[in-house]
Amino acid sequence: MTADQLPWWQTGIIYQVYPRSFQDSNGDGIGDLKGVLQRLDYLRWLGIDAIWLSPIFPSPMADFGYDVSDYVNIHPLFGDLEDFEELLHEVHARGMKLLLDLVPNHTSSLHPWFVESRSSKNNPKRDWYIWKDAGPEGYPPNNWLSVFGGSAWEWDEQTQQYYYHAFLKEQPDLNWRNPEVQEAMFDVMRFWLNKGVDGFRVDVLWFIFKDEQLRDNPPNPDYTQHMPAYDQLLPVYSTDRPEVQGITRRMRGVLEEYTGDRVLIAEVYLPIRELMMYYGVDNKGAHLPFNFLLLSLPWDALQIAAAIDHYEGALPLQSWPNWVLSNHDRPRIASRAGAEQAGVAAMLLLTLRGTPTVYYGDEIGMRDVAIPFEEIQDPQGLNMPDKNMSRDPARTPMQWDDGPNAGFTGGRPWLRVDGDYPRRNVQLQKKYPWSMLNLYRRLIALRRQEPALHRGHYKTVYADTQLLAYTRHSEGSDVFLVVLNLTHRPAYFKPQDFTFGGTVEIAVSREREGNKVSGIISLNGDEGLLVRLDK
């Protein structure tokens, strides 16, 4: 494959839509597919290439759609299959791609498969889930914990066995050792691929296989009280089992039954070495195992510089990197690194080598919103009230304009809108050249235009306790230098063994654009510069 033929998921940018919070079209306070449709021109204007929709399938919403009760339909809150087909058509008509969220590890406890499975011990679907007799004195079969708190085993009175759930008890884990389960989920993929979707983000892929003997997990020697209870044990027997690689490869195989560049993205929170396994032998696993370094590491230039090189250095030959700054499970970048750093973070995300994923709202600098206790919706927050772990703050409605509810809904929003919306919204930021939105848009446009940025090599040139600097270059095109100040204090970029001269093409503070730089660059706090180097 020549450089010109790189697939869209390498050169493009992915945008995550959390459908409940993006745009409501019918006044029920919950975002929907028609709402997404209304905003497609905005996304086109922003310049993104693909939309990933968090789950839109029928669900009792115990975990806001990550508890699917029908994999081949649309939740009435979001619309119906016709709305979906229209959306897909219109996404494609604008030259963009649409990705769905596949949730293969678990179903809803109300999915007909589980309803059957729990109905009796000899139901043909019994073995589709993980059922076990009680241990001695009625205890659960092993010590495994649920991510959302408590034991991962739920006792079923009627059939006198426990079933396993890595998340809520309303999310029983499927038994991926059963070939019927595998085929059923591959058919779910085919259902949507037949409709024309461009790929999937696979939920908790590293969870789907568990130790065949269900051995106890060992205690975590680094556990401290403020950590979630789940972290008391190291989940070595309950996650990241070797068998997952075979299934990933087969999921990839399902995609390859179809024409076009369809993409398999895997949600995997693991250290770099383990993460790399998910590319699969000969890169026949996931195209993009999500790289969550930027949302897991402290906002520290030296640590981030080291992690970028560690990641770059660990990538298997021919595999493609990717970067994520925020998502619906973690605090937004503007709250984690701070509002002043959000522009620097955007420049980092959009100039690193590899596919960036932008979380809705980050492009206008949305922050996490304080949700009063009595308004908390997220089960993770409700189950662990003393740990402040609710994910609601990062899921608040998109701020479109300064009208009621920020233009998100004509009704009562399911989650409160940030009070800052009259001064932080898309409509306003579109108008101001120095807004976060315009910074995103211009970075995206330059990235698309410049081969060095969307496909070129990466090289760290400098890092200290404040600064991170690197170049991007590609044969036959201009070289770019990126200098980022990850602190609020002024800093000097004075590399020892790197001589350069160039022109600032994009700056986090726009005033510096067009400036000539060479030798030493002094940067204000929270400044980031993208410099086109002289030839």
Contact residues: ligand NOJ, CB under 6 A: 63, 66, 103, 167, 203-204, 267, 328-329
CA distance 300 to 420: 28
Q: Which CB atom, from 396 or from 435, has the smaller least distance to ligand NOJ? A: 396
Smallest distance, ligand NOJ to C-beta of residue 125, A? 21
Measured from the CB of residue 357, what is the shortest distance to ligand NOJ in angstroms? 13
In terms of CB distance, is 103 or 333 closer to ligand NOJ?
A: 103
Q: Residue 23 or 383: which CB sits closer to ligand NOJ? A: 383
Minimum distance, C-beta of residue 229 to ligand NOJ, in the bound complex (Å): 16
Burial tier of 298 (Cβ tally within 10 Å: 0-12, 13-18, 19+): exposed
CB of 329 or CB of 401, closer to ligand NOJ: 329
Residues in CB range of 225: below 8 A, 6 or more apart: none
At 99, is the secondary structure helix, strand, or coil?
A: strand
Q: How far apart are CA 96 and CA 15, in angstroms?
A: 11
CB of 201 to ligand NOJ, least distance (A): 9
Comparing every residue's Cβ against ligand NOJ, the nearest one is 66
Q: Are 452 and 348 in contact (CB under 8 A)?
A: no
Based on the residue annotation, tell me whether 257 is a catalytic residue of this protein. yes
In whole angstroms, how close is the CB of 65 to ligand NOJ at the nearest point? 8
- Helix 179-195 with 244-256: angle, nearest 10 deg: 30
CA pair distance 17, 361, nearest whole angstrom: 9
Please indicate whether residue 261 is annotated as part of the active site: no
Taking the complex as a whole, the smallest distance from the CB of residue 395 to ligand NOJ amounts, in Å, to 9
Name the region of 519 (left: φ>0; alpha: ψ -120 to 50; beta: rest): left
Choose, from 49, 101, 154, 203, the residue flagged as catalytic: 203
Catalytically annotated residue among 80, 212, 257, 511:
257
Which two tokens mark 288?
């993009």
Tell the smallest beta-carbon distance from residue 394 to ligand NOJ (Å): 11
DSSP per-residue codes, 480-505 = EEEEEE-SSS-EEE--SS---EEEEE
Minimum CB distance to ligand NOJ smaller for 286 or for 491? 286
Two tokens, residue 229: 């209870």
Distance between CA 207 and CA 127 in Å, rounded? 18
Furthest C-alpha separation in the chain: 76
Q: Tell me if 181 sits within 8 A of 209, measured CB to CB.
A: no
Compare residues 163 and 167 and give the one whose CB is closer to ligand NOJ. 167
**Nearer CB in complex with ligand NOJ: 16/341:** 16
Judged on CB neighbours under 10 Å (0-12, 13-18, 19+), 432 is exposed
Structural tokens at position 388? 């402040």
Packing angle of the helix pair 81-93, 179-195 (nearest 10 deg): 60
Question: How many residues does this entry show for the chain?
Answer: 535
Closest to 94 measured CA to CA, from 56, 48, 31, 25: 48
- Which is closer to ligand NOJ, CB of 262 or CB of 328? 328
Residues 104, 204: Cα–Cα separation, whole Å: 8
List residues with catalytic annotation: 203, 257
